[in-house]
Amino acid sequence: MTESLAQRDGQKMPGSDVKLGEDDGINEDSDYYNKVFDEMLNLWQTNDKITQLMLNEQLGKMVAQLASWDGTCFWHDQVLVKRPRANPTSWYLDTPFWSFSDPKALSIWVALDDATYQNGCLYFILGSHNKTTFENPGIGKNMDAIFDFYPQFINEESVPVPMKAGSFFFHNGLSIHGGGANMTNGFRRAMTCAYMPDGAIFNGIKNILSDEQVAKLIIGDLLNDNTQNPLIFEKAIFN
Ligand SMILES: O=C(O)CCC(=O)C(=O)O
């Protein structure tokens, strides 16, 4: 991990000049958001070890089983470093940010440090993924903003997920989730990967696609660029 971050020298994403701490055009309030975490995307494209680890066929199979897909493609990876004293991650949904819309789309979240109540472990509103939609409530500064959009969840319990370093969980991208502030003087680092079903189609949202990629796509086109969204697992079909 250290090697893959050093190789990037602060570059947030391959093919982009944006560096950590700068406005990436994805998040609404970059000044605040850059103090939620340092976010680097698609390390798999610049580091072979990350490719081997995160584009692993067994992982793709687990995702396919959880999502009931026949094939799993990679959407993106992210390293999320909550620095000492970092802001909380407001409640939000993942899937509405992505360039495809699938109710089963999910991510893996891997703790690289112990994630604790004190340093910003994640929290979930359990079962919310069954009632949310692809409309995007966004992610802002106000922790409770999502409940203007989904008032039916305001009284639901928040379930914390403290994690030991090296452990991981999967979560559906339509789950309402967030993370605590880092109240400590240490780092809370995590790696996530989001997965897409084979055969997913473009929904018009740019997300991490480059301007050149978007220019070649129209809504309804297959997202089948193997250099961007490689197929990492395919269920064998026996006649
Ligand atoms: O690590 C965090 O604080 C947030 C991560 C997250 O929201 C996600 O992986 O979907």
- Domain extent, residue 215, equals 2-228
Q: Which atom of ligand 1 is nearest to the CA of 120?
A: 3
- Domain membership of residue 235 (yes or no) is no
- Domain membership of residue 236 (yes or no) is no
- Domain membership of residue 18 (yes or no) is yes
φ, ψ (nearest 5 deg) of residue 20: -50, 140
Domains held by the chain: number: 1
CATH code (residue 24)? 2.60.120.620
Which of 80, 82, 93, 193 gets mutated to test ligand 1 (max ligand atoms within 8 A of its CB)?
Answer: 80
- Ligand 1 proximity of 42 Cβ (cutoff 6 Å): no
The predicted-structure confidence for 75-94, as pLDDT tens digits, reads as follows: 999 999 999 999 999 999 99
- Ligand 1 proximity of 179 Cβ (cutoff 6 Å): yes
Amino acid at 213: Q
- Domain membership of residue 239 (yes or no) is no
- Ligand 1 proximity of 190 Cβ (cutoff 6 Å): yes
- Domain membership of residue 40 (yes or no) is yes
- Ligand 1 proximity of 94 Cβ (cutoff 6 Å): yes
How many C-beta atoms lie closer than 10 Å to residue 18's C-beta?
A: 15
Q: Which atom of ligand 1 is nearest to the CA of 179?
A: 3
- Domain membership of residue 103 (yes or no) is yes
Give distance in angstroms: CA of 92 to centre of ligand 1: 9
Each of the 239 residues of the chain gets a pLDDT tens digit; together they read 777 777 888 888 888 888 887 776 666 677 788 899 999 999 999 888 888 888 999 999 999 999 999 999 999 999 999 999 999 999 999 999 999 999 999 999 999 999 999 999 999 999 999 999 999 999 888 999 999 999 999 999 999 999 999 999 999 999 999 999 999 999 999 999 999 999 999 999 999 999 999 999 999 999 999 999 999 999 987 64
